[in-house]
Amino acid sequence: MWDEFNIKTFPAEIVVFRNGIFCPELSTLPDTDFYKTYEKPIHIIYVGEITGKNQLNINIFTENQKFFLSANIKNKKPAFLNIFIKNAGKNSEFRGQIMLENESELNLNCTVEHAIQDTTILLKNKLFAHKNTISKLSGISIINKNCKNAVSDISFSALADKKACVEFLPAQKISAIPKTADHSASIYRPSLQQIEYLRTSGLTGSEVKNVLIEAFLNDFSLF
């Protein structure tokens, strides 16, 4: 996974999706409904190129379990990805990073739900939008009644061509007092100093662009 999709792997129970399709031959677990506690963390890997409508549901019912989502997704045709994460496992922690590269029209919708107290869901989304593309990224965090001490964060950021259209729609629905509840959206622009430094290092214009894209997409970690 590291060589093909730049996905860091580690000792874990894994569930793998390639091009939006579940791959049982690469997975140690059969699906994304979790009722059993494992000694190792659970790593959900979602990689490849998507098109059309795609759905990823993650339902957590086990206590004291760590979960990680690593997604590295591209699209060259119009694509829609709906991600739903429900954490109903007390003291269970979910951390996800989603890296997107849009070359057409892309719609990402993330819904995360805290269904019991003392749950964590942290979801980071990063987008690189090519020229003349349309990107819409939306997300809502739901903290249900009686789900106190939730830790919740959905963030969106993008590096976009000047002729790309990017829309962010982060939201929260909070019915209990959380420990923390954050959401954010931002557009990244490299500084003139960064660009000039790379150029004086001997890189061509296209090489500078590629370095900035790679640095932006990989500037976070689950661990």
Structure tokens, 160: 């976009």
**pLDDT-above-90 percentage for the chain:** 78
Q: How many CB atoms lie within 10 A of CB 187?
A: 13
Q: pLDDT of 152-175, one tens digit each? A: 999 999 999 889 999 999 999 999
Q: Which residues fall within 8 angstroms of residue 222, CB to CB, at 6 or more apart?
A: 8, 68, 70, 95, 96, 97
What's residue 4's pLDDT?
A: 63
State pLDDT tens for residues 6-39. 677 789 999 999 999 999 999 999 999 999 999 9
pTM over 0.75? The answer is yes
The DSSP secondary-structure symbol of 209 reads H
More confident residue, 198 or 60: 60
Percent of the chain at pLDDT > 70 equals: 94
CA distance 111 to 167: 17
User: Letter for the amino acid at 222?
Assistant: L
Query: pLDDT (tens digit, 9 = 90+) per residue, 76-113?
Result: 999 999 999 999 999 999 999 999 999 999 999 999 99
pLDDT of 223 strictly over 50? no
DSSP for 149-207, written as a single string: T-EEEEEEEEEE-TT-EEEEEEEEEE-S--SEEEEEEEE----HHHHHHHHHTT--HHH
Among residues 56, 54, 52, 164, the alpha carbon closest in space to that of 101 is found at 164
Mean pLDDT across 185-202: 82
Strands 66-75 and 93-102: parallel
Q: What is the DSSP letter of 216?
A: H
pLDDT value at residue 2: 55
Give pLDDT, residue 96: 96
SS3 214: helix
Q: 44 pLDDT exceeds 90? A: yes
Are the beta carbons of 44 and 70 closer than 8 angstroms?
A: yes
Better pLDDT: 59 or 190: 59
Which residues touch 213 (CB under 8 Å, ≥6 apart)?
A: 128, 159
What is the residue-wise DSSP string for 77-89? S-EEEEEEEEE-S
CB–CB of 94/121 below 8 Å?
yes
Question: What average pLDDT is seen over the chain?
Answer: 92
* Rounded mean pLDDT, 186-211: 81
DSSP 8-state class, residue 25:
G
